[in-house]
Structure formats: structure tokens, C-alpha cells
Amino acid sequence: MAAQLSGGMTDLYAVIGNPISQSKSPVIHAAFAASLGHDVEYRAIEAPLDGFRSAIEAFRAAGGLGLNVTAPFKLDAFELSTVRSQPVQRAEASNCLRFVNGRVEAENFDGTGLRIDIEDNLATPLAGRRILILGAGGAARGVLAPLLAGNPAALVLANRSITKAVAIAEIFPGVEPCALDNLGRYTGFDVVINATSAGLHGEVMALSASIFADGALAYDLSYGKGLTSFLHTAKSAGVDRLHDGVGMVVEQAAESFAWWRGVRPATRDIIAQLTKPLT
């Protein structure tokens, strides 16, 4: 059921994070609203690292109806919420809130957006495929359930700390944990997803070319950063299907818009608008 709209007034939504200047959510949601003729104002809120709750209270007092939540506040959003979907409960993180009759309802559309982008936009069905996810932080945790729902042949979660990967695998049956330094025992993944931030901080990702199957898809959850260290490594290994997370961001935004407004906007044009060459 869509959240009740404000009737005759501009409806207020926002994205909240720290930092937030890099977010394309205001551009995306403005395009969605224009395409559907909805009277929407969408803001970007940079909350202090210790000021999430007070920022939410101020937003609600201003009439805010819903929020997208980005780093580092997805756990805060989970803790603040009073009604949680099953994906939110499993991930213990939320990337979308709505405020209805005094309730704070929480959803997590990251994994749904990723799966739609991979399967529909990139024409790569997950059923029967072998998937490798690099990293076991909040980004990885948030996408696991929808990827598993795609019925892959295998889903390996590789992380520097095997303890963390094992803990996540206990929550998500079907996930096989692996330490990054033991990744050499695996070969031939059809989809390799980078859910770490290592490449964005100048760290070189040492990955064997053998982890990529012929025709593999290399997918970096970050977007707008060009050829990240991970994508450069994949390219050097002969992978030519290189993609960043712009499609995921747009598709999860469309899921948010539909949850708030009751109608899902088209996404193809805005994905094309935001896509940058991977150079």
C-alpha cells in the first residue's frame, strides 16, 4: 500500500547521508516525478555522523514523507524504524524509509535494484550461474537475499576476515564463505561483484584471472568513478563485460518511488543519461 500523499501540496522526499554531494538521487527522482507528472520536491540532506535521528525528526516536522538512506546511516535507519520488511530484518540495514500514521516503515531495495539491473538491463539471468561477491560489509549484506532468490548455482562471499563472511553465511543459507587469500582455489565465476571500497581508496585488487569465466560479467557497486581498480583488474584479465552500479542505483530508486507513490517509473532513459564511460 502506498503512503498517503499530502493532497494539493508538493510532497517532500529526500536522500540522507554523509557525505551526500555525490548522490544522483535528486536528479533521478526529479526525472521520475517529471515523467509521471507528480508534484514532488526531493532534497539532499547531509546529516552529522552523530545526528541521524535529529535530522529525521526535523525532516518529518517539515512534512517529509519518505527518505532514501545512504552511507553511513543504513544501520541507523534500521534501528530507528518501527516496521521492518523481511529483507530489512535479514540485512539489519535499511536504504529506504517512509512515514505513515506515526510509523517509521523500513525497506531495503539495494538487492532488488542490483538483480533487476543484472538480469533485465544486462540480460544476465542468475539461475544456474556462479556468483562471487567481494566484501562482506553492509553493501554485500544488503544484496544477498535477492541474488539468492535468482537461484544461482553457487554464491561465494569472499572477505579479508573469514569470520565476518562465516557470520553472514549463517544468516543467508546458500552463501559459501571464503577468505580473500584462499580465493585462488576457485575458478570460473559467471558474475563477479565488487562490494568493497578498496579500489576507491587507491588499493590495488589482486585477483587471479582464473576467477572469471569466459563471458563473465564484472560489476562494481560503486558508480560514476570510471574504471575502478576492480574493473581495471577484470579488464586486464580479459573481461569485456564491465559495468558499474549506476543501473542498480536507478532501479532501487524506482523501487523506492513505487513504494512511496504507488507507481513505478521507467528507468532506461535516466540510466542512459547517468552512464559514464568506464575509462
Contacts of 172 (CB under 8 A, 6+ apart): 90, 144, 145, 148
Yes or no: say if 244 and 215 are a contact pair by the CB < 8 Å rule: no
Contacts of 147 (CB under 8 A, 6+ apart): 111, 114, 115, 126, 131, 133, 155
Q: Catalytic annotation on 225?
A: no
**CA distances (Å), origin 270, targets 23, 251, 264, 266, 275:** 14, 10, 14, 8, 9
Name the active-site residue from 74, 225, 235, 276. Answer: 74
Yes or no: say if 207 and 213 are a contact pair by the CB < 8 Å rule: no
Q: What is the rounded CA–CA span in Å between residue 110 and residue 97?
A: 13
Q: 244 phi and psi, to 5 degrees?
A: -100, -175
Q: What is the rounded CA–CA span in Å between residue 270 and residue 247?
A: 9
Written as nine digits, the cell of 47 is 546529516
DSSP state of 252: H
Cis ω before 177 (30° cut-off from 0)? no
The residues assigned a catalytic role are: 74
